[in-house]
Amino acid sequence: MKKPILCLSFLLLSACGLMPQASPPLTQHDLGGGFRTLARPALPLRTVTVSSTPVVAGLSMHYRNATDPTTRGVYAFNRWAAPPATLVDQALTRLLPVEPTGRCRLSFLLSDFILEIDAQGKGSALLAGTLRLSLDGKTAVFKRIVDVRVPVPKVEPSAQAQGLRDAVIALADQTSAWITGDIEQFCKQQ
């Protein structure tokens, strides 16, 4: 009688070691708040919209390592709280106040939103895409390719989120400077 109980106890104890461990909790990242305090003077724009290419349309947080430059990696337990285009749209809407009497519409096509890791193991957040200004929302009158890179102190998802927040602020600075001047006069109602 003791032998079967002893064997059963041994089997139960050894089975506990074979059970898969619980996965770490999923962490969601966004670009944070406080953008309103960084707002610039209103631009003569009716709207600001952001869309994205399919590669950055989901919630995955991507990285690219220089040792494998053609492969996009994905962090397993970290996700964006919303699709990157939505996060950039929310931030730009606060950073670039619009003047409803403006004639132009600004659209930004987000083509990359990634952490790039160089051969020395240092990272930089990359926000890339195309800015388009149009009168009717369809035909681009002015177009500009942007490629904003911000170094990050660590190669990890939370540093990536902070780096991309800083990249969106830099994008707003570049966009405001681009529109101010001749383009601004073009976009004002006549």
Distances (CA, A) of 146 to 7, 23, 79, 88, 166: 68, 38, 24, 14, 14
HEC sequence for the chain: CHHHHHHHHHHHHHHHHHCCCCCCCCEEECCCCCCHHHCCCCECEEEEEEEECHHHCCCEEEEEECCCCCCCEEEEEEEECCCHHHHHHHHHHHHCCECCCCCEEEEEEEEEEEEEECCCCCEEEEEEEEEEEECCCCCEEEEEEEEEEEEECCCCHHHHHHHHHHHHHHHHHHHHHHHCCHHHHHHCCC
> Do 93 and 86 touch, CB atoms closer than 8 A?
no
Residue 14 pLDDT: 52
Average of pLDDT values for 100-111? 91
- Tell whether the model's pLDDT for residue 142 goes beyond 70: yes
- pLDDT tens digits for range 106-139: 999 999 999 999 999 999 999 999 999 998 667 7
Angle at which helices 157-179 and 84-95 pack, to 10 degrees? 50
**For the chain, which domains are there?**
2-187 (3.40.50.10610)
Residue 18 pLDDT: 61
pTM of the model: 0.84
Q: What percent of the chain has pLDDT over 90?
A: 64
- pLDDT tens digits for range 16-71: 556 667 777 899 999 998 887 777 888 889 899 999 999 999 999 999 999 999 99
Closest listed residue to residue 64, CA positions, set 114, 113, 112: 114
More confident residue, 92 or 187: 92
- Tell whether the model's pLDDT for residue 7 goes beyond 80: no
Residue 9 pLDDT: 52
